[in-house]
Structure 1
């Protein structure tokens, strides 16, 4: 076949063709401490642009909370959608929390799984039922007296890659998946098709990021840092009382954000704590590129990265039957954290698998309310979490 007759090769980064230019031209994120800077450099975090025009698309009050849909442009790729949730009729300034959605193998959606919305997409409802005990985490945190921002991060939801014409390697893997669906008599939904393609495509995204001198985790951190600055700038938010919370991949994002930004005073990591060594040889394949940035281990073990944060305190919640982490690794991580942070770390082991249960959410919300000063004094004092 002549070159002229060959089919055009699809873009491997459709929707993000301006990403390479952005990374080449944007300076690296500058942290305030040497330890945080080492992490920024290892992940290859670009500096978020200093100016972001935030648009409010709609606002609705229901069942005690006011929810606003926002969007902003980060200078490359699709526009970001986020939701601000706060107590209805509350007067500021309120403590602020960044709610960080999980990976979950669901990139069709993002932060919508964390927010009660007038219309919930089935993929968000499925993620909520499977990972959050059926609850909208960001909305529940807001009910405790916080201004909560939940946003789609790089490669999820509104920040997705366009895979309508997937690159050839992704397309070949997707065809095999479609064949299996046909054999099983399954008609996949649009979200199932996209998530299957995105799962294969994550390797391409990670390769592209590596070529550009960044990483998937570094680009996600870029988006999270930008969202944190937006939260801190809101008129009803106290920028001196900010925290973050995340389950699974969102827990990894919370740890990373707290290490990179001095704005985070207290944070919660749920079902995302172990030692790197415990992932070998059997558990490494259970995790995405969010956890497995090449060279990250050179900076220390995963729990040791918390020492790069200047936060006042943090809570880690472990699930004893977590399918993604061996118990021995979680126990060793707990030991390391208790040694590193005897006065600021709280660790709790829960029964059950890789799920952010309602009881765990209540504990996490109570911890944040007490440490960041949200809600009534009685609510802050009533806590089952050890005081850091």
Structure 2
């Protein structure tokens, strides 16, 4: 039963009452027996609600630079989508690797740091920006996790996604805003000055509701744009000659976990998925935690048809791991556990209980070395 008080006052109980305990297209509905017929119906509605922009043909990929660092062969890549500035990315693989290896699409986080994208989870040289070093210390236990998993025998692609890094909104492209979003006083954001980066991140945070409203007005959603851009990256990774396209995985922390939910749930090319620090229920967001989350989380109307964890559950019986932190300030622990129960029910009903696993760790929002060890072992189990 919903409490009398919530983040939307006494409207919380009413808002929760609009939802069904078992949404309209949930596989947990006793009337739904066959996985494939359920998936067809649920996937069709999910795709409709997410309303991702067209993907189009696979773009030409330009190799900007090749070098070796940290025992890895590294390529700096770029490609042009039909909208926005060119996407920048890095590809990491064990030094000298030639035979087809499993591939992992490593999805960077949000962290209220839109100036950076893929650079938040890789290390490509000793001259790492101090802000990136600090971020990896606090969120990743001092590790560039994309490098670490690549060393285990994977080809890893990490790309900037919509509104981050090379895909961020540039000051000089914005007009018509005033007040806190006034761009007239901004200076060269490419200088990578600490203060300028922090100022940009603060500006970009305030710009998020503007972008979200514009996307909704255009008939799409932020998860939909993420999905399109992540699927393009998956296209590119799967076509690499040193990658086995039948052994693809994806994963990420926080915003990367959110992207894992949508990409792994809606694209069955992802044979193994690890969602870190992004699992809860719609009720948690209604009553307690929507204010702790980015506008990038939400797909209007989808809660009528699927609970949040059931988006990821669309991939059943493909292997799926969810990693949670007990003191994660972004979620309520009881709702993380309820989401876990929902996914367990979906996998059990599909006869695939062994293909789903969740784990809990003490501590705040993070993807530390203990969690990375478990995530990498999961990838090894299903992709190697």
Kindly indicate whether structure 1 or structure 2 has the higher relative contact order, using CA contacts under 8 Å at least 6 residues apart.
2
CA positional deviation for 1:164: 4.2
1:206-249 residue CA offsets vs partner (Å, 9 max, x unmatched)? 01100110011111111101000000000100000001011111
Question: Within 5 Å, which residues of 2 pair with 1:163-182?
Answer: 163-164=171-172, 166-169=174-177, 171-174=178-181
Residue 361 (1) aligns with residue 369 (2): no
Q: 1:121 aligns to what?
A: 129
Q: Matched residues in 2 for 1:144 and 1:310: separation?
A: 26
Q: Matched residues in 1 for 2:118 and 2:41: separation?
A: 32
CA positional deviation for 1:130: 2.4
Q: Secondary structure at the match of 2:171?
A: coil
Q: Matched residues in 2 for 1:311 and 1:77: separation?
A: 36
Q: 1:27 aligns to what?
A: none
Q: 1:300 aligns to what?
A: 306
CA positional deviation for 1:135: 1.0
1:200 pairs with one of 187, 203, 206: 206
The answer on whether the counterparts of 1:100 and 1:151 sit within 8 Å (CA) in structure 2 is yes
Unaligned runs of 5+ in 1: 1-31, 179-186, 374-388
Q: 1:167 to 1:128 in 2, by over 3 A?
A: farther
The answer on whether the counterparts of 2:109 and 2:120 sit within 8 Å (CA) in structure 1 is no
CA positional deviation for 1:126: 3.0
Identify the range of structure 1 (222-231 vs 131-140) with the bigger mean alpha-carbon deviation.
Answer: 131-140
CA positional deviation for 1:291: 1.3
Runs ≥4 residues deviating over 6 A: none
Residue 98 (1) aligns with residue 105 (2): yes
User: RMSD between aligned alpha carbons?
Assistant: 1.9
CA positional deviation for 1:334: 1.1
Q: 1:215 aligns to what?
A: 221
2:269 pairs with one of 263, 267, 270: 263
Q: Secondary structure at the match of 1:343?
A: helix
- TM-score normalised to structure 1 length: 0.82
- TM-score normalised to structure 2 length: 0.82
Q: 1:18 aligns to what?
A: none
Q: Matched residues in 2 for 1:253 and 1:228: separation?
A: 13
Unaligned runs of 5+ in 2: 1-38, 186-192, 348-352
1:259-317 residue CA offsets vs partner (Å, 9 max, x unmatched)? 22121001000110011102232311000112122222122111112232256211100
Q: 2:258 aligns to what?
A: 252
1:278 pairs with one of 270, 280, 284: 284
Q: Matched residues in 2 for 1:122 and 1:63: separation?
A: 19
CA positional deviation for 1:139: 0.6
Residue 82 (1) aligns with residue 89 (2): yes
Question: Within 5 Å, which residues of 2 pair with 1:13-28?
Answer: none
1:344-372 residue CA offsets vs partner (Å, 9 max, x unmatched)? 21010111010111110111011101110
Q: Secondary structure at the match of 1:300?
A: coil
The answer on whether the counterparts of 1:265 and 1:310 sit within 8 Å (CA) in structure 2 is no
CA positional deviation for 1:174: 4.7
The answer on whether the counterparts of 2:323 and 2:371 sit within 8 Å (CA) in structure 1 is yes
Q: Secondary structure at the match of 1:255?
A: helix
Residue 52 (1) aligns with residue 63 (2): no
Q: Matched residues in 2 for 1:106 and 1:304: separation?
A: 28
